[in-house]
Amino acid sequence: MARVVVLGAGISGHTAAMILRRKLGRDHEVVVVTPNRQWNWIPSNIWVGVGRMTAAQVTFPLAPIYKRLGITLHQARAVALHPEGDAEEANPYVAIESTAEGHVGEATKITYDYLINATGPKLNFAATPGLGPDGNSLSVCTYSHAEHAAKALAASIALMKTGVKQTFVVGTGHGTCTCEGAAFEYIFNLEFEIRRAGVRDQARIIMLTNEAELGDFGVDGLQLKRGGYVISGQTFAESLFVERGVEWVTGAHVQKVEPNLVSYETLDGESHTLPFDFAMLLPPFTGVGLKAYNRAGDDISTTLFAPNQFMKVDADYTAKPYEQWRAEDWPSTYQSPSYSNVFAVGIAFAPPHQISRPRKTKNGTVIAPAPPRTGMPSGIMGRVVALSIIDRIKKGADAPLHRASMAKMGAACVASAGAGVLRGSAASMTMFPVVPDYQKYPGVGRDLGLTFGEIGSAGHWVKRILHTMFIYKAKARLGWWMIPE
């Protein structure tokens, strides 16, 4: 019997666990360790954050699903990996600490034959003084954060209805943030709700982003085929900002967030302040802080993890300038180079470098979007690693690994620009590949036949259908495996 342990139950980990359970016989064990009791379809937190959905519409409890599927669930936090075992335990194991309510005790050891690290990110609000729900700004990174943001938005709208003008700042709270797409979605949903409330003339709305230009999205921008023409992602994004009357500040590193005041540095090295009444600023990510030890008890965390605490996999981590970056730098199997039975997927794996061109101010401040690794790519990684482990269990330890490099993987993104039955809209974009390959596609980095963007009401309905479809899939309903990642 083999035991596969999956750390984390987000899109990547949950996908991997369900596929493992479906394709492995019951003589093999699938174990999920996650600190969260609820599964959250994070892309729809945007709608929770403007009051268009409730938390109950984007979450469900994991325990009943895993019980029905035959997956062992530990509501716990992984704290340390022991990939060689130790003096007391010969087998590799992970140490976990329960997060279940009312439970206290020492760390538990869970042995494994194969391990998938899908822990996702730590929301590093502490990187910027005053950032986050415990500070002076809002977030939509979790459903509870989004509920808080929705209440704050409703309060601002109520004030505007009495004639009090409000300034809204939405964007990234640090120079190295990712998830610019989430900020893009939120600002246009916020603008839509303010307009729908009839108080648009009372609102100043500003996007504050670490992107060097709008439409970068942390993927070095896009060249889009639209209506028979090729336009830049910058033009595509800016046209929407102008149409909706939304201002923007690009190339910004937020230095601190005080009550009703954000301070930031721009790429020219100058410092600025921006007063606000409402600020939703996303945090940078780090790994969750897992430690690792060899059999002798020596700390080998720096061997398994990069300095940002994400796990090293089969990528080329050689430091090199932007001009020397290649598609081949990116991992394809997500296998640890140190331990062949350990994998990392989704946000948990360490990218070899950014995708967007890195930039520094004259003061040495790094302002460079981190690579997005969420949504569709995360699901694909979870599937690929699950299939690799299944083959190695069934066919032997030398079975070839499945591959899915982000440099050979396409992705579709539907970014909501306002939710509504008749007036809702969304920007629908595809790109191939996610990581541009400037050697194969000179000048643009991507296949223009498979990279395009449109905005309209059809996109809203596609996003709403995807919400329903992926929650159906995550609940492992009849035929769930036929729904692609």
What the block records as the tokens of 216 is 């970068």
155-189: pLDDT as tens digits: 999 999 999 999 999 999 999 999 899 999 999 99
Q: Is 70 left (phi over 0), alpha (psi -120 to 50) or beta?
A: left
311-358: pLDDT as tens digits: 999 999 999 999 999 999 999 999 999 999 999 999 999 999 999 999
pLDDT, residue 201, reads 97
Average pLDDT of span 104-126: 90
pTM of the model: 0.95
Q: Which residues contact 239 (CB under 8 A, 6 or more apart)?
A: none
pLDDT, residue 105, reads 54
Please provide the average confidence, as pLDDT, over all residues in the chain. Answer: 94
The DSSP string of 154-186 is: HHHHHHHHTT--EEEEEEESSTT---HHHHHHH
303-312: pLDDT as tens digits: 999 999 999 9
For residues 450 and 258, the model is more confident at 258
pLDDT, residue 101, reads 62
Residue 253's identity, in one-letter code, is: H
pLDDT, residue 103, reads 56
366-390: pLDDT as tens digits: 999 999 988 889 999 999 999 999 9
pLDDT, residue 456, reads 84
For residues 344 and 230, the model is more confident at 344
3-class DSSP assignment, residue 268: coil
Q: How far is CA 84 from the centre of its chain?
A: 30
Among positive and negative, which fits the CA dihedral 345, 347, 350, 352? positive
Burial class (CB in 10 A: 0-12, 13-18, 19+), 103: exposed
Element (H, E) at 282: strand 278-282
Element (H, E) at 56: none
Element (H, E) at 280: strand 278-282
The DSSP string of 298-335 is: -B-HHHHB-TTSPBP-SS------GGG--GGGS-SS-B
Other Cβ atoms less than 10 A from the Cβ of 202: the count is: 18
185-210: pLDDT as tens digits: 999 999 999 999 999 999 999 999 99
- Of the candidates 199, 181, 226, the one whose C-alpha atom is nearest the C-alpha of residue 426 is 181
Sheet holding 261-266, edge to edge: 252-258, 261-266, 271-275
DSSP 27: T
Q: Is the pLDDT of residue 224 over 90?
A: no
Structural domains of the chain, ranges and CATH numbers in brackets: 3-123+286-395 (3.50.50.100)
Report the alpha-carbon angle 393-95-342, nearest 5: 35
Q: Is the pLDDT of residue 421 over 80?
A: no
Residue 31's identity, in one-letter code, is: V
Among positive and negative, which fits the CA dihedral 169, 174, 179, 181? positive
pLDDT, residue 474, reads 97
pLDDT, residue 469, reads 95
Q: Is the pLDDT of residue 484 over 70?
A: yes
CA–CA separation, 130 vs 132, rounded Å? 7
pLDDT, residue 424, reads 78
CA–CA separation, 292 vs 294, rounded Å? 7
Average pLDDT of span 74-94: 96
pLDDT, residue 98, reads 87
Strands 72-82 and 29-34: parallel
